[in-house]
Each structure stands twice: as structure tokens, then as C-alpha cells.
Structure 1
Amino acid sequence: MTLRHLFRSERLITLLNRMGHCENYSFSLELETALAQAIAQTSTLLSTQIIRSPTAPAVFHSEIDNFDQLLNNLTGMDSIHTAHGIMLQDIEGKSEDHGGIHIDIPSILKDSTTKQRSLNLDPADNLPECYVTQRRSPQIIIKQLTYPGGEDTYNAANMRHILWMLIRMKSSLSHQTVPGWTGFVSLTGTTPENLTTIDYYPVIGCPITEYKTVQECLRYAENATNEVDQEYIITTFDLGVCMKAYPLVWNNQTKYEKHIILIGTFHLVCAYMKMIGKKMNGSGLSDILLESGLIASGSITGVLSGKHYERAMHCHKVLLECLERLPMTQYVASQGQTEALSSLSEQSKQLLVLVNYIKGFQQYRDDIRAGLRGETAQMWLSYMDHVWLVLSLIHSVKHNDFLLYGHCLHLMADLFFSFGGQNYARYLTYFSTFIANIETSHPGATDLMKRGAISVARSFIPGNRCAVDKTMEETFMRHAKSHGGAGAGESGVLTNHDAYQRWVRTTHARSQYVNATLNMADMLSDRIGESKHHDVRPAEVLKSEKLVKRTQEAVESFLNPFTVDKKHQLLILPSGQAASEDVKVDVLRAEVAGREAKNAFIETHLKTGKDFFEPVSV
């Protein structure tokens, strides 16, 4: 069963069976089918891992996404378009204090199996039709545009980020011992008490782009949440599904009054990085990334468009740290110092003195942001602000910080208005305003959000929670689309409804076999080192410092944007040529224009409850 779970290879299991090391492949199918039948007898829509009516503070939420698989056959027909979901539950406190109703799977004896290899289910009924003939604008009571305390939390996070950057820059002068940003977030985070319970919903065999499928997704989430005995139904979708779900909810407000629909953070970050790429197009950003060796030429488009999440985040984080050191060097020189923090004596390195030092640097950055130190520096500092905003949103997810999360959403909509992100501009503005006023529309929902509705604890590494929609991509999607996962073979699990149901229903049970097998082989480790983030390892710390210095050399081989002499020109770093006046105005006013357009949208569409779907203009 362990081999079947990890590799799903009939040839591998047959080979080991004939060498006398395991049962045959047919027996693994029989056992998996018997498990699926036993689970079907003991559970409803919820899996057996979800605790019903827990007495400890808890949150139950769902994430549902589309699954599209193009089959590699002669005709290219019969592609797969279905909807798949995961259910998640976070419960505070020790497991023995959770209370609630636990459902156990009956024991299955080898001699009691029916020798049945396939799970024969009744054919799924056709979904009821659903139409939204005329989309209604949302009706929302707006008392505030940001959640109380969000701005203070955001400013405090910025202070921590600058402090990390200062200490890391000072450490780089000798032997770097301070980890990069991700390691810093992990070291300043807390270890989760429990991991999030993750399990699968039954598959919905229709494209999620149809209203009837979205209606079924909301029904799944509502029935499951009611069985858990939670008041509000929290469901996360990517924007494409939200564009179907929101109109459906707004047209049926009484029916869906308990529903809270969240826009997936992972997809939001990808879209925001695309807007950053549009803003910096032609500035020399791509040249710096290529010259420093952070990315290959064939992958640069994926970075600038946000399509390659990991690569894009890697490039932006390294370049951000590199650029932060350049104005810091100028600020240190303006203070008559030779290195950062050198003016502080050992006795004066107290919190108040350090905070004042950071505030002085922040004022220096504000001067750059206002254009007092040149327009080239102003543009590149705006790039840095946008990357910091992305990192702050990720920080809020990793630390499950609801206040920081809400304020980041409020700030992010501006850039979508500026650079043609029409759909995110419209729906993110609504969503951030909804979050700011969630206690008005859904009293008590804030407590659920703070318990983990915006993130998932998948490991005991401190400060390393994961976005909900990213969890979907890294669990079901990764296994389904990998060579050895559920999608192995065109006639395999994905094209066979009964086989897929057997697979999703027994996922957790099979994982228990895996844990038992690894434990027998002494391959499960409880060492403290296993609970530390990869980026805090000394080798990774030195590697990240090497990348920053190499990137800094690449920037200075072109032009240092913070030391250019032509203050009233916007210079392109690789060539040194000035951008045209029209381009300069558009780029430097992008944030202001976006903020004005967002505020106008709130006044004319959200507060009035009219014409929400009219084209967005800047």
C-alpha cells in the first residue's frame, strides 16, 4: 500500500512482489477498495478526519479549484475539465481537548475482503441548472476602508523589515550569519500547536467555469460546514471562480447570507507580480536579473508575468535586498558614518535609540519617494515598495496575521487600476472593503478568520503557514499532474470516476500506511533540526548573501539609481538614456492615479451599489 501511495506503479509493485518483498498489485487494489467502502459507510460529505462540533476554538473552511487535463491522444479530444476541492480544519489547543465527534474507520481483516478491485458507485446525477441572467451589484455597508488596527500593524511590519535589512547588511561586512527574508520570517514566527487537517471533497464532474458547478461547490461547502456546526461558510477560490461565485451570491443574498468567499492569496500574488513587471517594463529590470545570473533568458518572461511563482519570488527578493543596501549606503554616508549602525555605542543599542535610527532612514526613503533625490531613484523605490507589499502579504499568511492581511489587500488594488488589471481592480477593491467591514455584515466572523481561514499549517516549522489556494496546488494538483501521481496514464484515475472516488476517499488512510512503513524502516525523524526552515541553514545564509552581492555588482555595472546626477530625468539603467516625458509621467504617477481611480470606484460603485460591472477606467 505504501508503494502504491507513493509511486502508483503497477510494474514496480509487481517486480517487488515477484522478488518476495510485498503483496501483489491486485491485493493493493482490493484493500484500497475495501477501505473506500468502509469510509463510505462511516462518513457523509465530510471525511472521517474532520471533527464534528469541536468544543475547542476551531475554523473549518474549503478551497475548490478547476482541474484541466489535456489528453495526449491522436485526436486531442476528451480533455478533462472538473472541479476538485479540499476541506481544511484548524483546532486550537491540545488534541485531547478538542472534543467533538470523531468518526473511526472500521477495521478491515485480510480474510474479510470481497476480492473486489473496483469501487462501483451509482452514476452521478446531473447538476441542477443555474443561470445568472442579470448580474446585480453588491450591496455592502461601508463604515471604513481598512480594518481597525491594520495600518499600525502594517507600519510595525515595515519597521521589522528595515531592522532585519540593517542587521543583515551590517553582518555582511564580516561573515554573514543573518538569514534571508524567508528565514527571518520563520525565526520571528511561532510554531503551530497542531497541523491543519486537510482532506478531499468528492469530485464534481463539470467545468468550474459554469454557474451550476459553482453553485454545487457552494452547496458542498455549506453542507460540510453545517455538519461541523460552524455558523459561517468560508470558501476560497481563485479570481476566475470568484467572478462566477460573487454574482451568484449577490443575486441570491438571502440564500447565501452566511457565505464568505475569499480571493486566493497565491493567485493574487502572481497577478500582482505581473503588474510590477508591467510597471518596470523597459526600466532595465530584466537586464539586471539576466546580468546577475538570477534567471536564464528563457525564463525571464515567466518571472515578469508572475507565471513562475517560485522563480519570480526568488528574483524579486534578492533584487529587493540588493536595492535596499544602495540607499542605506547613501544614508550612512550622509550621517558621516562608514557603516550602518556604527554611530550607536554598545550602551546605547537600546530599542528606543534603534527605533529612532530606523525612523531617520525611513524619512530618507520618504524624501526619495517624493522625488527629492531624483526621478530615477523615485521609480526604483516605488518598485521596492511594491515588492515589500507582496512580502508583507506573504508575511501575513505565514504568521496568520489577519490585520496585516486586510491592510495589504487594501493597498494592492491601486496598481491593478493603473496597469489594466480590470478584474482584480474591481473584485479586489470589493473584497478588501468587505474584509474591512466584515463585522458589520458577518458579526463574529473575524474570530474565524484569525483562527486560520487565510492560511494552512502544513508543518511544524515556525512562521511557515501556507496560502490556502497554494495548498491546493501543492497537494491535489501536484499529485494529479505528476508522472507518478493520480494522473499517471490516460485511462487511469482521472478518466475513471469510480477509480478517482476510491483514490480521494482513501488518501488519508493510505498515508497512515506510509507513516507506519517509514516508522518500521526508521525513516521518520523527530529531530529539532527538522522543525527549522531551510533558509536558516548556514550554507543557505551564505548562498543568499553571495547572490545579493552578485546582483549588486550587476546593478552598479549599469547605473546606481540612487546616485545618478540627472535628477529630473528618468534614466534607463542599462543604457543611461532618458525615458520620454509621457512615459516618465505615466510611470511616476501610476500609484497616485491608481489610488484615485480606486477611491472613485468605491464612491461611485460600491457605496451606491450600482454599475459594479461597468468598465474600469483610470
Structure 2
Amino acid sequence: MHIKLLNIFIFTGSPSQENIDATTAENDDPPAKKRRVLRSNFDRPSLPARSEHILPDVCILCQKVKTIVCKGSGKRNREKLVRCSTIEAANLKRAAEENENESLLMQIRNKDCVAIEVKYHNSSKSTIGYLPVIDVSPTEMDTVLTILKKSIDIADQLKLESLVIVMDQAIYSKAQLIRWRNPYFMKRLVIRLGAFHTAMSFLGCLGKRFRDAGLQDILIESEVVAVGSINGVFTGRHYNRAVRAHKLVAEAMQHMRLTTYLNSIPEEKAEKVKHLMTSLSQSFPGPQYEEILKGEHFQSFLSSYEEFIQVGNKKQTFAFWSSYIDIVEILLLFLRGIRESNWELHLASVRQMLPWVFAYDHVNYSRYLPVYWLEMSNLANTHPVIYTQCIGGDFAVQRSSNAFAKIPCDQTIEQTANRDSKTKVGMTGFSTNKRAVNRWIWSHHVRGSITHECETMAGKGERSGTRSDLLHSRMKHDKLAIGKIIDTVNSMFNPFEYEPAELIHIASGLVATQDVQNDLQFAKARGESEFENFCGQRLQTGEVDFFAPMKRMNLKTFSSMSKKSNHHQGYHFGSR
């Protein structure tokens, strides 16, 4: 908080009542007027000394404090410092090594960059521009061809050797078909699948596997998701709600599995594990956090816990809900790869998604997500310049100065161009005249740009400095929600304490049929096999045409047991 010292004065040196009486007794002169002094003249209380392990509160790159001028008010504010969010700070170290910056490497090499509070100015906010709208169906081949040609024109104007285009799956399929048949497009363009829509598709896989296994009952009864929103959560269309719901349930399930583990070991050993967890919580993000993770006690606990999970996976109910924790972890790693602009993590998490996409018949992503993964994995050979940019973290959009805040390109379109150019009721709300409608469409990008600039001038362009997940009120609310989920599951039964080997419905107690048990148990293995066959037969050897129809796996879930027969009884009406 900035204080204008020249304009703020306070009263100090007010004499006590005893001094006033003494002064009055000595002479009858009126007491001296109260003296006005600046706040800067005060002796401020000394602040606690910073730890010797923590770096000074300045940018580690420029070692300066910068100020920026607000466009709307003209005020000069101190530019925010972004605190490093990963222990290794891989991108920062890589940049320092490429530039041979030894002074920077001496400060961060072999150190926990979170614990020593590495900070830097984030001057690399993404610049977002709006292009004119093409008023035709985006999935028509002529439209896609126009987009590719316009993209190359933009690359030529910017004197770029190659250009990256991000599309959702429907347009990606058409664009790749054109690109594969044109060597010039293959050389100049790199087409990526939108990560936002990929995450939504993966959320649909999660919903298909676990919805009717009791997850829907858990979310509704614990009041985490309302009944009217439940379909959107399981299909992935309500993206933010879906991600939050799965995070909360996964954390609750992890808590219940860990509690079951602690109850299965001797009490003395359990107390040591609890003490270890307390030490981890208290040391984060201090210098001792990484030491505890690498220590002998934590590694011993980790191996013991993994052995407990392997033994528990022999029971199908235990294994089924453990797979839920694993799949949600894949989703969160995928989102983390985007937030941190970690290219290797992004590709690794996409690879982990593929078996589940195949297993649960997301046919369009089953066809094109392997193509995306293989092309991006080979990017260093085909487009080394683009690969260097992706490794450097330039494949996601930075809209704010916060760390861990990058978002996918296709999500950026939803938050900027589509949002800024909206009218209250759409084009039907003001005219049905064709010329007026054309003018409205052709000015789409201009209106969006004007809206964005007006928000910036009004001081509304900068996004909130604190993520909603990190607000104290939000963390308190999430903690209560996790407690409700645990209570709801315990009112049914704890899936990690269930001893019989068969798979049962967590809410109704219904035992799954053998077909359902087999399909749920071996879904990942069958999806992996289908993925390998697809890559081998369609992408490597060409034994099967790439565009040949793909057979659905139709794996059974708990919902298969509740489907009614389609046979109808016939009634005969007649006289007796």
C-alpha cells in the first residue's frame, strides 16, 4: 500500500497530564502548540530479520524494483514480483544456462527455489489481438483452407519461419487433412489440439466410468454439486465445477485410503507417520521441506504405503476407487503442465490420457489425440524453432502477473474475443436485416478490441492478484466440503475397508456382474492395447486406412446393469 507522505501528517509529542500541570504551575504561559511532523520521521519498530536462506525481495533477473503507470489513473505502482512456484525452476535455469548467466546460476543451482523465495518480474504477458471474423461454418473445408492461407500471410508479415495454430478437435481434423496433402503447409504450419477441449473430453471419460458407480450420489448428498448441474459436471461441459468436484472427491478418497493404511499398521508406526506429515506441513515451503521428502523416513513410508496399495488392489472395490484417484491425478498433472508451461509434463500427461480415451469410446479424440501426441513428440526434428519456443514455455497464454496462472489458447479465446464481443441478446436482439447483421459480424473483432481497451483504461483490465483457490474463505469452504464427502461415503461404506473381493456399488451395495467387473478392472489395459494397435496399423505401417471406421469397445459400467430391455410386451384385445 503506497502512502503519500507529503500529504499525510499526524500529531505526536502530546504531553501527559502531569507535565501539563507542572508547566502551568511554573508559569502561566499557554501550552505550546502541538507540533506536526511527517510519518517518515517516526522511529519505526524493527522488522524481524529475514532468514539467511531467503533471497532479497527484488527481481532475481534485474535486481531492481520497477514501477508501471496505470493507463486509467496515471498512478505509478510497483510492478508485482512473481514468486517461483516450482522447486527446480526449470525454465529459469534453462534460460540462465543458454545465456551463460553464471551469477544467476550460482543463486539457484541445486537449491529449492520455492524455499528461498525466488522472485522475478513477469514482463512476458501475452499480447492478445483480435482478427476479423469469417462468416461461414468453421468446419467447411474451404473455410479451413482460408484460415491456413491467412495464417501463412500473417507469418510472412511477421517474418516468421513457421507458425502455430491451435484448434478444437472438429476443426483440427479438417485442418490436418489439408496440411498432410500440402508439403508447403507441412513446413510452415504446426497445428495443435486445444488443451481446454481436450481436458473437457477427458472429464467425460471420468464421468462415464464413475458416475453410476456411486459418484453421482456422493456429490449430490454431500451438496458439492447441485442436481441441476450434475449432467454438466460428468460430461465436462461445466468445466470449472467439474474440475473442483473431482479435486475434492479425489482428496477425500486419498484421505480415506491413507486413514485405512494407518489403521492397518502398529500404533507406534502410525504415530511416526502422523508426525512426519505434520513436519512436512509445517516446513513447506521452507528449506527443510525437500530434505524431509528425500529423507530416509519419508522414503520408508512411501514404499510401505505403495505396498499397501498393491495388496489392496487385489480387491476390486479397493482397486476401482484407487483408479479414480489415479485418473484425477492425470487430469491435474495435465492442468499443471499448462499452468507452469511445462512442455514435457504436458506431453507425458497426454500420453497417460490416451488409454482411457480409447477405453471409453471418445472416437474423435481416439483418432486425433495420438496424432497430436506423436507430432508434438517429434517437433524437435520437424520444427526445431517451434520446439525451442514450446520448451521455453510459450505454448500457453499468460494473462496476469501471477505465477501458476497460464491457460490454454482455446480457453483464452472463450475469455477474450468471444466474451468481449458479445451483445446482450445476440444479433437477433437488434435486427433481422441482412446488411445490419453483416455489419455486426464484420465489426466483431473491432468491438472486442474496443471493449478490452475500455476495461483497461477503467482499471478493470488487470485480473485479480490472488487465485480464488488460494483465498482463505475458499480453502475453508473446500475443507468443509471434503469433510462432508468423507462423512457421506462413511455413511455408505468405506471402499478401502471392504474385505470381499467382488466389486460393489458404493451407494446401493449392489454387486456388479462378472462382465461389468471384468470391463472395469481391465479398462486401462484394453484401452492401451487399442491405442498401440491404432498407432501400429494406421500411423506407422499403414495396414489400415487412417480414416477407416473405428470399432467402439462398448465396455460395461454400472449403468449397463440398470438398462432395461427394449423388448415390448404385446397385448391382444378382443372378445372372449
TM-score, normalised relative to structure 2: 0.68
| Alignment counterpart, residue 246 of structure 2, candidates 316, 319, 328 | 316
Q: How many Å apart are 1:192 and its aligned residue? A: 3.4
Which of the numbers 233, 240, 244 marks the counterpart of 1:303?
233
Query: Which residue identity does 1:558 align to in structure 2?
Result: M
**Alpha carbons 2:356, 2:527 under 8 Å: kept:** yes
1:594 aligns with 2:527: yes
| Deviation of the 1:514 alpha carbon | 4.2
Deviations 1:428-452 (CA, angstroms, capped at 9, x unpaired): 0111111111112222321122344
Aligned partner of 2:370 in structure 1 is 429
Question: Secondary structure of the equivalent of 1:496?
Answer: helix
Q: 1:431 to 1:345 in 2, by over 3 A?
A: closer
Partner of residue 351 from structure 1, selected from 273, 290, 296: 290
In the other structure, the counterpart of 2:490 is 556
Larger Rg: 2
Name the aligned partner's letter for residue 246 of structure 1: Q
1:616 aligns with 2:550: yes
After superposing the two structures, state which structure 1 stretch, 229-238 or 352-361, moved more.
Answer: 352-361
Does the 8 Å contact 1:191/1:461 carry over to 2?
A: no
Tell whether the 8 Å contact from 2:417 to 2:445 is kept in structure 1 after alignment: no
Shift of the 599–494 alpha-carbon distance from structure 1 to 2, 3 Å rule, reads farther
Unaligned runs of 5+ in 2: 1-60, 63-85, 90-113, 554-576
Q: Do the aligned partners of 1:416 and 1:594 also contact (CA within 8 Å) in 2?
A: yes
Structure 1 residue 283 corresponds to structure 2 residue 201: no
Separation of aligned partners in 2, 1:514 and 1:574: 49
Alpha-carbon spacing, 1:439–1:493, altered in 2? closer, same or farther (3 Å): farther
1:177 is matched with: none
Q: Do the aligned partners of 1:462 and 1:532 also contact (CA within 8 Å) in 2?
A: no
Is the counterpart of residue 476 in structure 1 residue 410 in structure 2? no
Tell me, yes or no, if the aligned pair for 2:421 and 2:444 is still in contact at 8 Å.
Answer: no
Contact 1:188 1:463 in 2 (8 A): no
Correspondence list, 1:417-496, <5 A:
417-481=358-422, 483=424, 489-491=430-432, 496=437
CA distance in 2, matches of 1:506, 1:295: 36
CA apart distance, 1:213: 0.2
Q: Cα distance, 1:305 vs. partner?
A: 1.2
Q: Distance in 2 between matches of 1:457 and 1:425?
A: 29
| 1:502 Cα offset (Å) | 3.6
Q: Quick one: which amino acid aligns to residue 515 of structure 2?
A: D
How high is the sequence identity, in percent, across the aligned residues?
24
TM superposition shift of 1:571: 1.2
Residues of 2 paired with 1:238 and 1:227: CA distance? Answer: 25
The 1:538/1:191 distance shift into structure 2, 3 A limit, reads farther
Partner secondary structure for residue 248 of structure 1: helix
Aligned counterparts of 2:163 and 2:462: Cα–Cα separation in 1: 37
Alignment of 1:495-574 (within 5 A): 496-505=437-446, 507-509=448-450, 511-516=452-457, 518=458, 530-566=464-500, 568-574=501-507
More contact order relative to length (CA 8 Å, sep ≥ 6)? 1
Deviations along 1:203-252, one digit per CA (max 9) or x if unpaired, are 11210110000011111221112212222110011001111111111122
* Aligned residue-pair number: 431
Counterpart selection for 2:141 from 201, 204, 211: 211
CA distance in 1 between partners of 2:422 and 2:435 (Å):
10
Distance 1:339 1:534, change over 3 A: farther
Amino acid at match of 2:373: S
Q: Deviations over 1:330-356 (max 9, x none)?
A: 233344314854157979966344345
SS at match of 2:369: helix
Kept in 1, the 8 Å contact 2:420–2:451? The answer is: no
Contact 1:559 1:573 in 2 (8 A): yes
Q: Secondary structure at the match of 1:198?
A: coil
Q: Residues 225, 301 of structure 1: CA spacing in aligned structure 2 closer, same or farther, 3 A cutoff?
A: same
Superposition pairs of residues 317-396 of structure 1, within 5 angstroms: 317-335=247-265, 336-338=269-271, 340-343=273-276, 351-355=290-294, 357=298, 360-361=301-302, 364-365=305-306, 368=309, 372=313, 374-396=315-337
Rounded Cα–Cα distance in structure 2 between residues aligned with 1:585 and 1:515: 57
**Would you say 1:413 and 2:348 are equivalent positions?**
no
Q: 1:228 to 1:370 in 2, by over 3 A?
A: farther
